[in-house]
Each structure stands twice: as structure tokens, then as C-alpha cells.
Amino acid sequence: MVRFDDLLTRCKRRNSKAMMELYNICAMPVYNASLHIVMNEFDAEEIMQDSILKAFDNIDRFLGTEKDFIAFVKKIAVNKSIDWFRKNSKTPLFTEVGNNIVVEQYDDDDDELIFSVDMIKEKIDSLPNGYRMVLYLHLVDELDFADIAEVMNIKPSSVRSQYARAKEKLKRELGIRS
């Protein structure tokens, strides 16, 4: 991708116009990654800005594509967001719910279920913190379980378990059969 390579080269030379262009490319996905964790627009914006500035501080060592750069900045933002969450939240990241998940049984004659994106987002946002974060980090931010485990400082098996529990709880909240 020649265009991004040129943009990256100009950013490494500290060209302010190029840096602003790269900032604009990264801003929304990085902001959304942070917002999913901190659940606060002001703090998400601050974390987004700090994350992009940190990436710019290390841009001389960066080699990769536009997608790689966005992923790099999102990872910085996710780490900063989790740190923010740990420092500012009174609730734990994860809550124990036991090993058994009970799913209600439904009749075969139920109507087809239709959900809006806003409804699904609302249901995800109402999940316990650990569930919500794991779902967003895996499904929206496209981090694999090992990366999520690393940034959350837990075992990959715990991430997989939280993810499975989160999906089941979300299904129950939405009234979906398992």
C-alpha cells in the first residue's frame, strides 16, 4: 500500500499534516475500543488521544500496514483503558458465576426474533464488566484470546471461559435459544 507507506514516511519526518491525517485514520476505531471498556465518552477520548500520541512517539520503529498501525494503537488504547478501569472502577473486572449456565427452554412456535444494533449493544453494555470487555475485545476489536489475556493479565483459558459465559448470558438476555 504505497499511500500508507508514504504517509508513514512523512509522519516519521514529523510532518504535521501527515500526522493529522494518520490521527484521523486511527481516531474512531481507537476511540471505540476505549469506549467499550471505560464506558465514558470523555475518558475514552482522552485515552484515544494519549494512545495515538504514544504511537507517534514510537513511530520511527513501526514497520507495517495501515491495518497493523491501527491494531498497534488500539492495543495501546486497550491497555490504557483497562488500567483506567482498574484504577477508577469499584467493581471487579470479572465476577464468578459458577461453571453451570442455565438456558431457558423455548417452544418451537416462537416468532422469529429481530434485534436492532442498538438493542444488542445495550444488552452487551449491561453485562458484567469482564463479560462486556471480553466480548468487545474479541468480537469488535478482533483481538484473539491470547492478546486479551495479555492485556487483562489473566490466563487465556480464563478469557475463553469468560467469553463462553458472556455469549450464553447475552443469548439469554436477548431471548435466543441455545
Instruction: Write the pLDDT tens digit of every residue in 9-43.
Output: 999 999 999 999 999 999 999 999 999 888 889 99
Strand, coil or helix: what is 9?
Answer: helix
Comparing 53 with 177, the larger pLDDT belongs to 53
Q: Residue 60 has what DSSP assignment?
A: G
How far is 122 from 13, CA to CA, in rounded Å? 43
Based on the fold, state whether residues 19 and 54 are members of the same structural domain. yes
pTM of the predicted model as reported, rounded to 2 decimal places: 0.67
Q: Does the pLDDT value for residue 107 go beyond 90?
A: no
Based on the fold, state whether residues 19 and 33 are members of the same structural domain. yes
Based on the fold, state whether residues 84 and 144 are members of the same structural domain. no
Q: Does the pLDDT value for residue 159 go beyond 80?
A: yes
How far is 103 from 76, CA to CA, in rounded Å? 37
- CATH label of the domain that carries residue 34: 1.10.1740.10
Based on the fold, state whether residues 66 and 139 are members of the same structural domain. no
35: containing domain? 2-88
Q: Which of 12-16, 61-65, 85-89, 158-162 has the lowest mean pLDDT?
A: 85-89
Number of domains composing the chain:
2
- State which of 88, 104, 138 marks the end of a domain: 88
- CATH label of the domain that carries residue 105: 1.10.10.10
- State which of 88, 103, 124 marks the end of a domain: 88
Q: Does the pLDDT value for residue 99 go beyond 80?
A: no
Phi, psi of 41 (to 5 degrees): -60, -45
How far is 67 from 89, CA to CA, in rounded Å? 31
- CA nearest to 176, candidates 168, 143, 11, 136: 168
Provide mean pLDDT across the span 119-143. 85
